[in-house]
């Protein structure tokens, strides 16, 4: 087994909101009344049914409540055993699914405030992602600017399946704000289900939705690259979270081939897609969609042609690996250090802020 090293950054952990009513203290009177008067149900996304095997490792599943809803469990099961200096919290509460941008805005604000009070304030290793009401770019920018004042927010969080492809120009003010404030955009698996969850329609099964996340990441990367997001925002980093990464080489071969053939359509894409990925795109380590033999995996790393793309993640409490095997078998100690420490720090500039060092000294 490849051992983790101390001082790493876990770039994808999922604290769970116990219930929509947990957000009531963080909502204003109007929205508190809306939630209670209308009898609103909990915002559980079917991307992660709480009882699904992938939503929690069997030995991480709490006796009651949602997986990931206990800070004590997260400490004992992830933060302590993997010896991380920081863990980045990516809440997957289903606030993006609602269709009213006003409601989404209220819930996102409450969720971000809840994260600060219930998690970030209670363990100095925790850092947060700003969840935004993506349907309204204006409100999203305002929420980013509001939360970014707290330096413990290190990233903006979006879902891989939303209303529009992520490269669309309408979203660019979000990217401008993130770049200006030193925040990468994290794109996490999951859908707001405003479009069918696959590009060929609605499948029958939960497993289809989950497998299809990888294809959604591929189409989003195409959109981000060919629309020119990184020509406009060269310093913006985007992190694909829980995306898988073994699809990346073959995907880039194809994109590169078509870019060579029809780049006249998008002349602002002035660098090869692979170069853009190397400079601006990162991937969380889990899940590793590959057989467990080191030879295959090392070939795949070789096909990726860079050791700077991967960021350590446990995807806690989701079930991606067993025991302590957060890192794959047979990778070099240099690569372990890159994945666990160097790459995350190079991506999340806010982890290096002086305030951060003081609070964790």
* Neighbour tally for 283: CB within 10 Å: 24
Structure-block tokens of residue 117: 């009070």
User: Per CB under 8 A, does 262 bind other proteins?
Assistant: yes
User: Per CB under 8 A, does 214 bind other proteins?
Assistant: yes
* Neighbour tally for 65: CB within 10 Å: 14
| DSSP H or E run through 77 | none
- Closer residue to other proteins, CB minimum distance, 146 or 271: 271
User: Per CB under 8 A, does 196 bind other proteins?
Assistant: yes
* Neighbour tally for 302: CB within 10 Å: 9
Q: Of 211, 231, 325, 346, which lies in the binding site for other proteins, with binding defined by CB under 8 A?
A: 211
Q: Which stretch binds other proteins (CB under 8 A): 60-68, 74-82, 113-121, 202-210?
A: 202-210
Mask 25-54, x = binds other proteins (CB under 8 A)? ---------------------------xxx
- Closer residue to other proteins, CB minimum distance, 154 or 248: 248
- Closer residue to other proteins, CB minimum distance, 15 or 197: 197
| DSSP H or E run through 307 | none
Distances (CA, A) of 254 to 182, 266, 299, 337: 32, 16, 19, 31
Q: Give the position of tokens 């982890």.
A: 351
User: Per CB under 8 A, does 161 bind other proteins?
Assistant: yes
DSSP per-residue letters across 158-219: EEEE-SS-TT-GGGHHHHHHHHHTT-PEEEEEEE-SSS-SSTT---S-HHHHHHHHHHHHHH
- Closer residue to other proteins, CB minimum distance, 155 or 191: 191
Distance from C-alpha of 147 to C-alpha of 132, rounded to nearest angstrom: 10
CB of 257 to other proteins, least distance (A): 5
Mask 58-97, x = binds other proteins (CB under 8 A)? ----------------------------------------
**Cβ atoms 345, 337 nearer than 8 A:** no
Distances (CA, A) of 315 to 76, 186, 241, 273, 338: 15, 14, 9, 27, 18
User: Per CB under 8 A, does 286 bind other proteins?
Assistant: no
CB of 41 to other proteins, least distance (A): 23
Q: Of 163, 307, 308, 342, which lies in the binding site for other proteins, with binding defined by CB under 8 A?
A: 163
Contacting positions for other proteins (CB under 8 A): 52-54, 160-168, 191, 194-208, 210-212, 214-216, 218-220, 222-223, 226-227, 244, 246-247, 249-251, 253-259, 261-262, 264-266, 287, 289-291, 299, 302-303, 305, 319
């Amino acid at each position: 087994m490849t051992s983790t090293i101390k001082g790493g950054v876990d770039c994808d952990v999922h604290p769970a909101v116990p219930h929509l009513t947990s957000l009531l203290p963080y909502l204003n009177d109007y929205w508190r009344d809306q939630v209670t008067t209308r009898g609103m149900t909990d915002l559980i996304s079917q991307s992660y049914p709480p009882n699904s095997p992938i939503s929690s490792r069997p030995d991480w599943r709490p006796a009651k409540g949602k997986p990931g809803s206990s800070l004590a469990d997260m400490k004992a099961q992830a933060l302590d055993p993997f010896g991380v200096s920081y863990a980045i919290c990516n809440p997957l509460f289903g606030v993006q699914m609602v269709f009213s941008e006003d409601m989404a805005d209220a819930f996102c604000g409450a969720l971000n405030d809840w994260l600060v009070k219930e998690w970030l304030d209670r363990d100095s290793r925790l850092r947060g992602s700003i969840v935004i009401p993506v349907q309204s770019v204006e409100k999203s920018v305002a929420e980013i600017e509001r939360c970014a004042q707290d330096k413990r927010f290190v990233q903006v969080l979006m879902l891989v399946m939303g209303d529009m492809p992520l490269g669309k120009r309408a979203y660019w003010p979000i990217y401008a704000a993130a770049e200006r404030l030193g925040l990468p955009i994290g794109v996490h698996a999951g859908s707001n289900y405003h479009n069918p969850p696959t590009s060929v329609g609605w499948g029958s099964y939960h497993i289809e939705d989950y497998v299809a996340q990888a294809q959604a990441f591929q189409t989003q990367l195409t959109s981000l690259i060919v629309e020119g997001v990184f020509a406009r925002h060269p310093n913006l980093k985007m992190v694909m979270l829980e995306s898988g990464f073994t699809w990346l080489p073959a995907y880039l071969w194809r994109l590169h081939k078509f870019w060579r053939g029809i780049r006249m359509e998008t002349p602002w894409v002035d660098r090869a897609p692979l170069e853009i990925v190397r400079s601006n795109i990162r991937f969380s380590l889990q899940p590793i969609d590959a057989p467990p033999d080191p030879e295959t995996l090392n070939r795949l790393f070789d096909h990726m042609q860079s050791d700077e793309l991967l960021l350590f993640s446990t995807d806690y409490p989701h079930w991606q690996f067993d025991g302590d095997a957060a890192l794959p078998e047979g990778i070099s100690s240099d690569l372990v250090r890159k994945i666990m420490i160097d790459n995350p720090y190079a991506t999340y500039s806010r982890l290096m802020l002086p305030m951060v060092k003081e609070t964790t000294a």
